[in-house]
């Protein structure tokens, strides 16, 4: 059977599963041919290799908006397109320690800092144009958002919906107040259904996130084909990593939770099938800010997402460093299954969004979550809420710059901010998976209260826009920005040289005590071992080599400092928040 015939057969089987309860006006065979023709419009078919790791220890992803760094004149006028500025900053300050970049939605948008897309195939002209995106994609592995669940109420599609004709007029998910929507899981407090005035009368549409973000109706085959068309276009533009935004909400079915439905999982598998047959080295990352067990399901059987966001890591790691106790972080790490070859975790501590609390459900008690939220609020953070099915509200995420979130402990602010911050990243960089570093963590940006005031959005607190010259000055002066930036670059530079830090290398949790967090990594060829040891408290701690199972007959080095640990040394003293990557290979 040819590659094309095999692909058509697989796609048809997947469509039959997804649309089993939908009356289609097209046969499954014709539907399959349409999708295959769409995905191959710019690329030839290729045979994907199953269970292939598309990443190494050299991979790390910088997360940034296209205008996080902008060049201004003295009157605060923008002097050049921000994508030019970003590309220069990447080349001058980020390379070669980070080889990939996630540019958050760079399309025309109407709200939510890009996640309410007006036009999926255009670049926001205030940022630049496709040639600027192409140039960055030539120098770095480019990760881009496929905002798949919804689009802007100011889009041409929605305008055509109101007119009742034209492309997009039937793209949106209808709603009915008489449906059973009591079980629908919501990440927001706004009303789920929005009343729209159209040429054909008043109609309700589904809005999971906001009334400016109208949900797309994937029960319409044309919507699925439109998304495949956009994917094919992005591949042509140099996108290597596809971030499926809010994909857990893709399929709706009244009387259910409308999240993580089997049709949604099969749709992700379908996207994987189509993408890997035209771009075998492309990667799908699912953005599913949900409880841990549900999140893990997006790996499928190594046939769904290549990577999943490790959403439980940020709240657990922050909680560990604020309390000085690693019990919950250790329990979670011990419970996490190793990723199969061809899949891996995407680790992060901070992002453009807040620190999600749903992924901590079942891992931290309500009391511990409330204490965590209280500490973050005392450090100047904000808290965003979601509405439960019974109409009550619950904390959904904490909004704060990570540098400020780690300014102290539950006892209050202290002098260990920088050490604690670097400790958090040393843990994340050493873990199984690919590390993602938010640009404002890389340069230790603090809370932006002015932007919150201006936008009236809690998430703006961690979305500062830097003036390029001001930032470069701070990175060159003796500032906390300079010290953190250089500390982060040092850790990343060391990391990229260690085969034991391959995203799929073996990982075992160490049992030391609740004040010292530790795990062991071993390279896939078993030639390198690294004992990763972290003092997660504000006190000096002494350890014996036996407590970390170090075989003193071998030669060992702390990769962070470059110091050798010899066989006469019986005690290791760890300063507050000190990190050690102890390896039998000095590189």
C-alpha R_g of the chain: 24
CB 531 within 8 Å of CB 520? yes
245 is catalytic: yes
Q: What does each C-alpha distance from 4 to 32, 35, 227, 257, 277 come to in angstroms?
A: 11, 12, 20, 36, 9
- Sequence-ordered list of residues with C-beta below 8 angstroms from that of 65, at least 6 positions apart, any chain: 103, 104, 113, 114, 352, 439, 463, 465
From 42, 37, 27, 33, select the one nearest 8 (Cα to Cα): 33
Question: Dihedrals φ, ψ of 17, to 5°?
Answer: -75, -50
**CA dist., res. 526 & res. 522, Å (int):** 6
Residue 448 sits at the vertex; the CA angle it makes with 463 and 420, to the nearest 5 degrees, is 85
* Residue 159 φ/ψ, nearest 5 degrees: -60, -40
Rounded CA-CA distance 334/202 in Å is 53
List of residues 6+ apart from 133 with CB closer than 8 A: 83, 103, 106, 123, 142, 237, 238
Residues 550 and 556 sit within 8 Å (Cβ to Cβ):
yes
Report the alpha-carbon distance of residue 285 to residue 243 in Å, rounded. 5
Q: Taking phi first (over 0 means left), then psi (-120 to 50 degrees means alpha), and beta for anything else, what does residue 180 get? A: beta
In the chain, the largest separation of any two C-alpha atoms, in whole Å, equals 84
**DSSP 3-state of 324:** coil
> What tokens were used for 281?
């080295």
How many whole angstroms separate alpha carbon 9 and alpha carbon 27?
Answer: 13
Q: Choosing from 112, 132, 212, 245, which is the catalytic residue? A: 245
Token reading at 181: 């929507």
CB 326 within 8 A of CB 313: no
Q: How far apart are CA 555 and CA 561, in angstroms?
A: 15
> What tokens appear for 417 in the block?
């901010």
- Residues serving a catalytic function are 245
């Amino acid at each position: 059977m040819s590659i094309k015939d095999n692909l058509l057969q697989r796609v048809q089987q997947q469509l039959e599963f997804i649309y089993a309860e939908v009356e289609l006006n097209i046969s499954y065979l014709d539907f399959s041919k349409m999708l295959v023709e769409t995905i191959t419009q710019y690329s030839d078919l290729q045979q994907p290799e199953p269970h292939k790791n598309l990443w190494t220890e050299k991979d790390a992803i910088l997360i940034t908006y296209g205008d996080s760094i902008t060049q201004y004149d003295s009157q605060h006028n923008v002097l050049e397109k921000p994508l030019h500025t970003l590309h220069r900053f990447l080349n001058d300050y980020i390379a070669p320690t980070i080889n990939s970049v996630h540019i958050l939605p760079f399309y025309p948008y109407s709200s939510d800092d890009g996640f309410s897309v007006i036009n999926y195939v255009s670049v926001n002209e205030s940022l630049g144009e496709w040639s600027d995106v192409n140039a960055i994609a030539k120098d770095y592995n480019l990760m881009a958002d496929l905002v798949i669940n919804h689009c802007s109420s100011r889009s041409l599609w929605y305008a055509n919906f109101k007119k009742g004709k034209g492309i997009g007029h039937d793209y949106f998910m209808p709603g009915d107040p008489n449906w059973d929507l009591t079980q629908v899981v919501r990440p927001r407090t706004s009303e789920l259904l929005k009343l729209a005035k159209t040429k054909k009368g008043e109609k309700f549409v589904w809005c999971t996130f906001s009334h400016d973000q109208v949900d797309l109706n994937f029960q319409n085959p044309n919507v699925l084909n439109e998304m495949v068309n956009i994917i094919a276009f992005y591949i042509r533009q140099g996108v290597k990593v596809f971030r499926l935004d809010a994909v857990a909400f893709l399929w709706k079915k009244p009387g259910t939770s409308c999240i993580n439905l089997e049709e949604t999982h099969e749709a992700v598998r379908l996207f994987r099938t189509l993408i890997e047959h035209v771009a075998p080295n492309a990667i799908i990352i699912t953005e599913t800010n949900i409880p841990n067990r549900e999140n893990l399901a997006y790996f499928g059987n190594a046939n769904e997402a290549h990577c999943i966001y490790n959403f439980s890591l940020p709240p657990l790691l922050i909680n560990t460093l604020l309390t000085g106790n690693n019990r919950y972080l250790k329990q979670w790490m011990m419970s996490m299954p190793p990723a199969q070859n061809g899949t891996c975790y995407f680790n992060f501590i901070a992002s453009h969004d807040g620190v999600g609390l749903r992924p901590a459900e079942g891992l931290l008690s309500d009391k511990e979550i409330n204490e965590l939220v209280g500490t973050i609020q005392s450090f100047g953070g904000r808290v965003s809420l979601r509405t439960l099915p019974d109409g009550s509200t619950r904390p959904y995420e904490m909004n704060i710059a990570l540098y400020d979130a780690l300014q102290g402990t539950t006892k209050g602010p202290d002098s260990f901010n920088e050490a604690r911050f670097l400790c958090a990243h040393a843990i994340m960089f050493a873990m199984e998976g690919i590390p993602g570093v938010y640009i404002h963590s890389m340069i230790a940006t603090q809370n932006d209260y002015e932007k919150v005031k201006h936008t009236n959005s809690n998430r703006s607190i961690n979305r500062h826009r830097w003036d390029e010259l001001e930032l470069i000055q701070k990175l060159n002066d003796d500032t906390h920005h300079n010290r953190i930036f250089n500390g982060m670059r040092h850790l990343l530079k060391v990391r990229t040289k260690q085969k034991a830090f391959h995203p799929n290398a073996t990982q075992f949790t160490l049992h030391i005590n609740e004040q010292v967090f530790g795990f062991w990594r071993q390279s896939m060829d078993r030639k390198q071992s690294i004992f990763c040891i972290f003092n997660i408290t504000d006190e000096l701690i002494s350890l014996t080599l036996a407590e970390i199972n170090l075989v003193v007959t071998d030669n060992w080095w702390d990769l962070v400092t470059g110091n050798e640990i010899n066989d006469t040394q019986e005690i290791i003293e760890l300063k507050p928040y000190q990190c050690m990557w102890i390896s039998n290979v000095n590189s």
